[in-house]
Amino acid sequence: MVLQNAKDKIIVPIDTNDIDNAIKIVTLLKPHVGMFKFGLELLTYIIAQIAFCPDNTPSQRVKTFRFIKKVQQLFSLVEGQLFYDGKWDDISNTVGGAAKAIGLIKPIMVNVHASSGLESIIQTVKNSPDSLVLGVTVLTSIDSDECVSIFGKSSSEKVVEFARMIETAEAHGIICSPKELSLLTNFPKLIKVTPGVRPLWAAVGDQKRIMTPREALDAGADYLVIGRPITKPPVEIGSPIDAVKKIVEEMEA
């Protein structure tokens, strides 16, 4: 499932610990982008807010109930547009159980760290019948020197090695830096999802192996994960919607 319209190729990560802000961003951008990625910060925040109970008073119970209703509202808003960014990295039985549990909400995409091993990826695929399973390779915040210290190989070598594993497990796609896309021409069946995408007018931030949206598409990306340039654009760009429109123009150029 590779979407053809430029806007549908954009995945916006909702990295926030404010449920009202998350609802606001999704409501604003829902007609203008393809998917929303719910990751570690947002998911952990939701769990903590529901679990935290300083007292068992009626007012606290009402507060928790209202928060849960907002969470349900948020997930309802992203129905059919959810990328559940759990980045599972554990033994195969645990990863398979997590995939089966989250399958209740039928996300479009889920992901698992390729470094967790072949069997963990296989179990994710087995337990995600309604979702596209993506294998996470080397995070875009890691440069080649650090990659060698972690994996014993450069990012270029390791991404290709992970790609073979992901393909063997019959997963649907791969997550990698746009800098490694040119190395994946021998894996045409894998959907390529790339974080580390920054338009020319956006700050680089903590990403190290990056490209512009147009460069990433030309290199073979199917979906682009673009966060802060959209959710917190420079003042001169305008609103998040203005930022998306500017990025779409660049993608279609």
- Just list the catalytic residues: 87
Burial of 63-90, coded b for 16+ CB within 10 Å and e otherwise, reads eeeeeeebbeebbebbeebbbbbbbbbe
What does the angle CA 93 – CA 95 – CA 101 come to, to the nearest 5 degrees? 100
Cα distance between residue 115 and residue 229, in whole Å: 29
- The tokens describing 18, both together, are 């404010």
Taking the CA atoms of 115, 118, 122 and 123 in sequence, report the sign of the dihedral they define: negative
CA distances from 6 to 66, 109, 145, 205, 213 (A): 37, 18, 34, 24, 10
Q: Specify whether the CB–CB gap between 34 and 213 falls below 8 A.
A: no
Cα distance between residue 88 and residue 91, in whole Å: 9
